[in-house]
Amino acid sequence: MQKLLVLLLIWGGSGIVVSGCRHCDDTHREANAFLSDPSNQECTVDDDCVIETHNCSDLDDAYCGQITLSRTAAASAEWQDIRTDLRSCAKDPCDVCLARRIPNCSNGHCL
């Protein structure tokens, strides 16, 4: 009986780990899709752009734990949900370099 219980706990625990990885993979795909949408990078002036941290997630166009978004996109409910999910998938510890990205607008696109 004890062996069966231990096996069930191991099997159940592995399901949690697998589903957790799947959740984070989905979150990273969703974040990358959001970041690659040109409308989330639109700007007119430098002040339209902001830097967001992403908790060391493996995201496209990220630099030292930082990404650039339009201020509107960063304030959106969709990004807030994604950011919350990215935090739950964060690596611990999360080492980032000391570089600081400066947001700017170039040709209508936040860089």
Spell out the domain ranges in the chain.
2-110
Residue pLDDT, tens place only, 70-81? 999 999 999 999
Q: How far, in Å, CA of 90 to CA of 58, rounded?
A: 10
| pLDDT at site 96 | 65
Residue 53 is predicted with a pLDDT of 82
Q: Give the model's confidence band at 2: pLDDT under 50 very low, under 70 low, under 90 confident, else very high.
A: very low
Q: How far apart are CA 76 and CA 58, in angstroms?
A: 21
- Is the pLDDT confidence value at 13 over 60? no
pLDDT band at 16 (very low <50, low <70, confident <90, very high): very low
| Spatial contact of 109 and 41, defined as CB atoms under 8 Å apart | yes
- Looking at residue 108, what is its pLDDT? 97
Provide Rg for the chain, Cα atoms.
Answer: 18
Decide: 37 and 6 in contact? Cβ < 8 Å: no
3 falls in which pLDDT band (50, 70, 90)? Answer: very low
Q: Give residue 69's pLDDT band: very low, low, confident or very high (50, 70, 90).
A: very high
Find out whether 54 and 66 touch, Cβ atoms under 8 Å.
yes
Task: Encode pLDDT of 35-68 as tens digits.
Answer: 999 999 999 999 999 999 876 777 888 887 788 9
Q: How many residues does the chain have?
A: 111
The owner of tokens 């700017």 is 104
Count the neighbouring beta carbons within 10 Å of the beta carbon of residue 49.
24
